[in-house]
Amino acid sequence: MKNCIGIINLDENENRMGELVVNRSLASVPIAARYRVIDFVLSNMTNSGINCIGIFTKNKSRSLIDHITNGRPWDLNRKTDGLRVFNFGNDDPVYDDVHNFADNIQFLNRSRKEYVLLAPSYMICNIDYKEVLEYHKSTGKDITIMYKKVNNADESFGDCGVLNIDDSGSVISVGENIGKNPKANINMEMYVLKRELFLNIVNECISSGMYRKVKEYIHNNLNNLSAGAYEFKGHLDCINSIKALYDSNVALLNKKVNKEIFNEERPIYTKTKDEGPTFYSDNSNVVNSIIANGCRIEGTVENCVIGRRVYVGKNAKIKDCIIMQNSRIEDEVVLDNVIADKGSEIRKGETLIGSTMYPLVIKKKNWL
């Protein structure tokens, strides 16, 4: 896919992410012990042969830029093409992704690549975009939209788009998942189209003033654009709420899901850190958990995802929890259904219990 530009659009809905995105973008939220949300789409693009990627951020990008550095973990630290990051140039609430694309249009104008792949960060999957591009070329459609057919739309994928597809495989309309029906064609918000068409859409949105987002233009002009649908049959999570983040981490404890997401043929890359191995004391008890390097475990850990450099004290009992890096769980602490953000400290003897529907969130660097 060397003839394709990858665009990662971070103009994402963060309204249900709560305190986890107060000082960071959704794309830089930690997940799966040692990764960030953006690692998956970045890795999918580079594994598919895309070597020119632009990340269009909305705000709060310090944590994101610190994580992706110069793109080296994804082999994107290049003189030609490589990784570029573009920040929103305006804090005005009406300033959406179309304006960000327009302000940085030279990135696209100067490129000689024929196609554009537009994708968000919060769709967690392991997908081969080469197959999608080949499908797009074979159909002759203006745009190809990727989707996942699910049977749990009444429980998950809230507020996601839903594709209505006719018998010929064309997208005829895009609705919204309001949780009424279990079966739905979830819009993955990933689009393949020619670069010239993408530029025309951006110009039309700006000149008409009718659309503030590229996807809004596409969804509302399906009568004029021919849009094909590509079905993705692998595992998909959408990180658009605290519960979705919790559920996605828990899903990775399933060996089948974990093996698919962290596919050896299409690995997920991240910023590497030199950490020693995790220490497990003789009194520790770890069951069905993912634990990153650099930890010290002296208590009981069950069905948990634990980031780097986390300390779990003696006689502590942690179950069904997401503990992010640099956190400290003191002796005799009891945690159940808790998400502890980076640098949290739970003092000796504390008991904190959430639920699977409403996990208890401890904000970054908070002491309890």
CA 330 remoteness from chain centre = 31
Give 25-61 pLDDT, tens digit per residue: 999 999 999 999 999 999 999 999 999 999 999 778 8
pLDDT exceeds cutoff 70 at 361: yes
pLDDT exceeds cutoff 90 at 366: no
What is the pLDDT at residue 91? 58
Q: Is 145 buried (19+), middle (13-18) or exposed (0-12) by CB count in 10 A? A: buried
What is the pLDDT at residue 273? 87
Sequence-ordered list of residues with C-beta below 8 angstroms from that of 144, at least 6 positions apart, any chain:
132, 135, 136, 191, 192, 193, 227, 228, 229, 230
List the one residue out of 59, 75, 171, 54 whose CA is nearest residue 118: 54
List the one residue out of 250, 327, 272, 263 whose CA is nearest residue 295: 327
Instruction: Name the region of 33 (left: φ>0; alpha: ψ -120 to 50; beta: rest).
Output: left
What is the greatest pairwise CA distance in the chain? 68
CA 360 remoteness from chain centre = 21
pLDDT exceeds cutoff 70 at 94: no
Determine the residue type at 34: R
* Mean pLDDT value of segment 345-349: 96
DSSP state of 367: B
Determine the residue type at 311: Y
* Mean pLDDT value of segment 341-353: 96
DSSP string, 289-300: -EE-TT-EE-SE
Whole-number Å distance between alpha carbons of 35 and 252? 12
Sequence-ordered list of residues with C-beta below 8 angstroms from that of 7, at least 6 positions apart, any chain:
53, 54, 56, 116, 117, 118, 119
Whole-number Å distance between alpha carbons of 81 and 330? 48
Give 225-261 pLDDT, tens digit per residue: 999 999 999 999 999 999 999 999 999 999 999 999 9
Share of the chain above pLDDT 70, in %: 98
For strands 285-287 and 300-302, give the pairing: parallel
What is the pLDDT at residue 97? 87
Cα distances (Å, whole numbers) of residue 224 to 184, 196, 206: 24, 16, 18
* Mean pLDDT value of segment 79-104: 81
List the one residue out of 72, 67, 94, 98 whose CA is nearest residue 83: 72
Q: Domains, the chain, ranges and CATH?
A: 4-261 (3.90.550.10), 279-362 (2.160.10.10)
Rounded to 10 degrees, the C-alpha dihedral 215/219/225/226 comes to: 100
Residues 290-293: contacts with CB under 8 Å, at least 24 apart: 290/32, 290/33, 290/252, 290/253, 290/258, 291/33, 292/33, 292/34, 292/325, 293/34
HEC assignment per residue over 178-228: CCCCCCEEEEEEEEEEEHHHHHHHHHHHHHHCCCCCHHHHHHHCCCCCCEE
* Mean pLDDT value of segment 134-159: 96
Q: What is the pTM of this model?
A: 0.95
Q: Which of 54-63, 107-116, 190-199 has the lowest mean pLDDT?
A: 54-63
Check if the beta carbon of residue 25 is closer than 8 Å to that of residue 58.
Answer: yes
Residue 93's pLDDT band (boundaries 50, 70, 90)? Answer: low
